[in-house]
């Protein structure tokens, strides 16, 4: 191992091919940084008969994962196969075999990351997962190392390029949701089944990873409030713009003395906020620290080479630890007890768009419902519509709890039809 570090690559898809390409093309740079050669010894593939445009010798291919996991000469396992159960089992087996592991698998880390990190601690191995969130943005390393001396109070992130691309096209080119989604699929930003993206599950998994790391606690997927972008209605983006907001699908995580709140949902984001200018397939994470203040990381959130770059950065980190014989020295155990805030302790401003009967006294009835639930209103506006006998009412609240927000919209039955509702974020006074 003094002259060469060997890698077992599990998967040769989009990301795996990128990893192989970078390792092959950057051999001189890697040798300069590490002083040893880093080479791929074995690659797990699904179909040995498939024709592949690969820079790798076909002799390194295998369909037997245990040929890689049980090879004592392989030092680092790089898991880029995707999926959950098979990938989890492979990571576990690699750690139990004393190998260092690098993964780009957000699904595994969101669902099983806490137990896998505990296993890595127990086996004195490294488990790196930079590429599991935000592709080529070094957000994991920033939270673990760059901001290690700070206390993170909150973070907001556009961590799904598919939904950000769709919303950008809907706003800037006045595309319908269906047409924007079709273009995202055509460009390769959306899968054939985009439900994980547009329903918010993909972003929720990433927020679990970021929140657990930022707050040194265990955040689980069921802790995340998730609303998909299918609830966005015609006219909502235009209304957002008219009030000085931009519609974004945002993951938000906040921590105070009462606990943690994590959500993924379409929100009205103030145009003055930096995240409002993040467009197309790009990702960004905005971090609030007690001492550093506010900082933002921005870059490509997916793609072969951006994601592979993060994977290779983790490989380099694992190699350095191997050479220094300090693998597994970083403790991943949570520092704080898991406390998730209830809805009555989560505060924000809200936008409510209602369809009501156009009759005398209707606004009085509406405001009395808000007053009953102590939901203070900042403004109330009526918009004319073509539907005879009906009116559209826009209400902006002051800071209220999520529970007050839910209580209000659940008690409007018979008074109004709820067209849409969104949380408002990013205002300086908020």
The CA distance from 280 to 283, in Å, is: 9
Q: CB of 100 within 8 A of CB of 119?
A: no
| Secondary structure, 3-state, 186-244 | HCCCCCCCCHHHHCCHHHHHHHHHHHHHHHCCCCCHHHEEECCHHHCCCCHHHHHHHCC
344 to 31, 403, 418: CA distances (angstroms): 55, 5, 21
Catalytic residue set: 206
Sorted by sequence, the CB contacts under 8 Å of residue 175 that are 6+ apart come out as: 169, 183
- Residue 35 Cα to chain centre, angstroms: 35
Angle made by CA atoms 195, 199, 205, in degrees to the nearest 5: 100
Residue with tokens 């350095």: 320
Q: How far is CA 26 from the centre of its chain?
A: 29
Strand pairing class (293-300; 282-289): antiparallel
User: Helix, strand or coil for residue 144?
Assistant: helix
Q: Among residues 398, 400, 365, which one has the least CA distance to residue 379?
A: 398
* In contact, 294 and 273? CB cutoff 8 Å: no
Q: Find where tokens 């103030």 sit.
A: 270
Report which of 47, 52, 43 is spatially closest to residue 23, judged by C-alpha positions.
43
Hunting for tokens 């302790």 — which residue is that?
A: 345
* Structure token digits, residue 402: 């999520």
Residues with Cβ within 8 Å of residue 33, at least 6 apart in sequence: 316
Report the chain's terminal Cα–Cα distance, integer Å.
55
CA 419, 425, 426, 427 dihedral sign is positive
DSSP assigned state of 393:
E
Bridge partners, 219 (sequence order): none
Task: Report the 10 Å Cβ neighbour count for 171.
Answer: 18
């Amino acid at each position: 191992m003094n002259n060469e570090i060997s890698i077992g690559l599990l998967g040769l898809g989009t990301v795996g091919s990128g990893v192989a390409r970078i390792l092959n093309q950057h051999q001189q740079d890697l040798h300069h940084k590490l002083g040893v050669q880093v080479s791929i010894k074995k690659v797990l593939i699904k179909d040995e008969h498939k024709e592949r445009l690969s820079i790798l010798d076909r002799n390194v291919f295998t369909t037997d994962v245990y040929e890689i996991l049980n090879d004592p000469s392989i030092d680092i396992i790089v898991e880029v196969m995707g999926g959950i159960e098979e990938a989890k089992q492979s990571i576990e087996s690699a750690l139990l075999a004393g190998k260092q592991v690098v993964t780009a698998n957000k699904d595994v880390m969101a669902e099983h990351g806490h137990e896998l990190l505990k296993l890595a601690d127990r086996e004195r191995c490294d488990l790196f997962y930079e590429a599991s969130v935000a592709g080529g943005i070094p957000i994991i390393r920033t939270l673990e190392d760059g901001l290690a001396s700070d206390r993170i109070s909150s973070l907001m992130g556009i961590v799904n390029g598919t939904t950000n691309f769709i919303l950008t096209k809907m706003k800037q080119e006045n595309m319908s949701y269906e047409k924007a989604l079709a273009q995202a699929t055509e460009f390769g930003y959306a899968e054939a089944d985009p439900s994980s993206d547009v329903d918010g599950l993909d972003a929720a998994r990433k927020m679990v990873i970021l929140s657990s790391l930022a707050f040194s606690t265990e955040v689980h997927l069921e802790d995340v409030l998730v609303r998909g972008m299918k609830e966005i209605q015609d006219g909502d983006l235009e209304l957002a713009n008219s009030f000085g907001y931009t519609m974004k699908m945002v993951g938000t995580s906040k921590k105070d003395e009462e606990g943690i709140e994590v959500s993924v949902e379409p929100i009205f984001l103030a145009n003055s906020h930096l995240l409002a200018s993040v467009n197309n397939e790009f990702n960004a994470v905005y971090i609030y620290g007690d001492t550093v203040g506010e900082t933002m990381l921005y870059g490509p959130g997916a793609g072969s080479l951006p994601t592979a770059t993060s994977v290779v950065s983790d490989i380099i980190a694992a190699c350095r630890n191997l050479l220094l014989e300090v693998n597994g020295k970083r403790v991943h155990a949570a520092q704080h007890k898991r406390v998730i805030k209830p809805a009555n302790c989560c505060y924000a401003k809200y936008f409510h768009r209602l369809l009501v009967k156009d009759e005398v006294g209707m606004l009085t009835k509406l405001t009395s419902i808000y007053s009953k639930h102590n939901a203070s209103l900042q403004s109330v506006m009526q918009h004319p519509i073509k539907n005879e006998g009906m009116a559209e009412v826009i209400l902006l609240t002051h800071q209220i709890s999520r529970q007050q927000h839910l209580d209000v919209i659940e008690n409007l039955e018979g008074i109004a039809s709820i067209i849409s509702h969104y949380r408002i974020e990013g205002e300086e006074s908020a």
